[in-house]
Chains A and B, each alone.
Chain A
Amino acid sequence: DQQVKQNSPSLSVQEGRISILNCDYTNSMFDYFLWYKKYPAEGPTFLISISSIKDKNEDGRFTVFLNKSAKHLSLHIVPSQPGDSAVYFCAASGKAAGNKLTFGGGTRVLVKP
């Protein structure tokens, strides 16, 4: 069973507009959430994270929102740039699991110039 789900496999957005990526989880023991970005033939690179004690974390153009009651998080990228075109993975971990991450299936984002 998939504990972390990204229901949109792909997203296309115009340069300068907002990209919104969504992620749902089922395991109530998850208390730390991360977003990773992956370019072809490269490993995933860390983008932004959020602890369950917060509902929002912002870093430049990237903001992550967490809704614990809905077990849902989202990543907002604004404004989107062509260099943001990549696959984005949502990941989660729980205290008992150390730093072991459970990943979603990814969302491919294409930012059109």
Chain B
Amino acid sequence: GAGVSQTPSNKVTEKGKYVELRCDPISGHTALYWYRQSLGQGPEFLIYFQGTGAADDSGLPNDRFFAVRPEGSVSTLKIQRTERGDSAVYLCASSRLAGARGELFFGEGSRLTVL
């Protein structure tokens, strides 16, 4: 597709369960970013990848959160032992090069609700 694709668009889970959120970036974009947006707030940085490696994971809130990008394209954000406070919209974005200044292209997000 032409844009950043995120699945699922909505995920409802129970406290303590494991969740995976997937991001398919724009073809040819080497940099991929995960953000989290809670209600009424701006997107909050979680992690970004340059190719296959995590260049900066300083925004991951704790060790329950993990993300991979094994082939330098699709990325999966994994959340273990979900908590109600993890409920948010998880946004993925991509850009041509992590080091180049320019816009990030965002997907529509995956809304996670932890009951």
Contact = CB atoms under 8 A, between A and B. Distances in A.
Interface of A: 4, 6, 9, 32, 34, 36, 41-46, 49, 51, 89, 91, 93, 97-106
Given A44-B43, A104-B42, A99 B106 contact: no
Given A42-B108, A46-B104, A103 B91 contact: no
Contacts of A9: 40
A6 B44 CA distance: 14
Interface string B18-49: 00000000000001010100001111110010
Given A42-B108, A105-B42, A106-B42, A99 B91 contact: no
A5 B35 CA distance: 17
Contacts of B45: 100-102
Given A98-B31, A103-B42, A43 B91 contact: yes
Interface residues of B, number: 30
Interface in B22-79: 31, 33, 35, 40-45, 48, 50, 55-56
B101 A51 contact: yes
Interface in B77-108: 91, 93, 95, 97-108
Given A32-B101, A41-B108, A43-B109, A100 B43 contact: no
Nearest to A41: B108
Interface of B: 4, 31, 33, 35, 40-45, 48, 50, 55-56, 91, 93, 95, 97-109
Given A97-B56, A103-B42, A103-B43, A43 B106 contact: yes
Nearest to A31: B101
A93 B101 contact: yes
Nearest to A34: B103
26 contacts: A4-B42, A34-B103, A43-B108, A44-B91, A44-B106, A46-B104, A46-B105, A49-B103, A89-B42, A91-B42, A98-B31, A98-B48, A98-B56, A99-B48, A99-B95, A99-B98, A99-B100, A100-B33, A100-B48, A100-B56, A101-B33, A101-B43, A103-B35, A103-B43, A103-B44, A106-B40
